[in-house]
Amino acid sequence: MTLTLPFPNFLDTFATNLLTAEPLEENPRHRAIVDAFDEVKGLERRLLVELAIAMEDSTVAAEQLTACSDLLIERLVAGQKLSALLAEACCCAAEEAEYEPCRPCGLETGEACCQDSAVPAQLPLTLLDACIHVFSDLDDPHAMASADLVDALRDLPGIAGKYYRYSDLTQSRLAELLAPYGLRTRDITLPDGRRRKSYTREALLAATGVCTSC
């Protein structure tokens, strides 16, 4: 049995206090990569345990294989999430002190921050990026009704999150996937006069780590 301590743990905290003059501020996007990697490895360990039980005890093989199938799906989804995070482009140079480093391309980060804007646009890599992409296509409205956002997201290929493909999204499924980011709908009167449960562009950007008050 292998004991794995979370990172950072007390040893890393001690090293930071010993070797640096002031505490280091964690980058939320880097933390997301570490958490996604831990999730992938944890699911792989669980999958191996379930397979070992199924091979040793034939009386529970059918139940274990069902459990293995569910775990395998979770592992594939978690791996896709990790791959998307690892492939996410960072367009900001760390030496540009006046701009926060490592924000995703396509968001407003300052005039001197982004590299060549002529690079062809790619499909959004995460659900948050996809939502922001929809807002951008509609000239960045302040808010968008949940139903309208879902209709636009359904045109995208791939998996939105968990087991849900973009084409299978509903308002309740979108709310479920965005809830871990602290995103909730609000009753907002839209420019066309409709009062709908809506998401705001400011809240979506804040969830990605972009400062909306700068």
Q: Would you kindly state where each structural domain of the chain is located, as residue ranges?
A: 26-87, 127-207
Rounded Cα distance between 152 and 25, Å, is 36
Which among 153, 185, 183 has a CA at the least distance from the CA of 169? Answer: 153
H or E stretch covering 187? strand 186-189
DSSP assigned state of 140: -
Contact 80, 72 (CB under 8 A): no
- pTM above threshold 0.85: no
* pLDDT at 105 (0 to 100): 44
Which among 148, 147, 165 has a CA at the least distance from the CA of 156? Answer: 165
Whether residue 33 is predicted with pLDDT greater than 70 in this model: the reply is: yes
Pull the structure tokens for residue 162: 């968990």
Per-residue pLDDT reduced to its tens digit, 133-191? 999 999 999 999 999 999 999 999 888 887 788 999 999 999 999 999 899 999 999 99
Give CB contacts under 8 A, 24+ apart, made by 87-93.
87/125, 88/29, 88/125, 88/126, 91/115
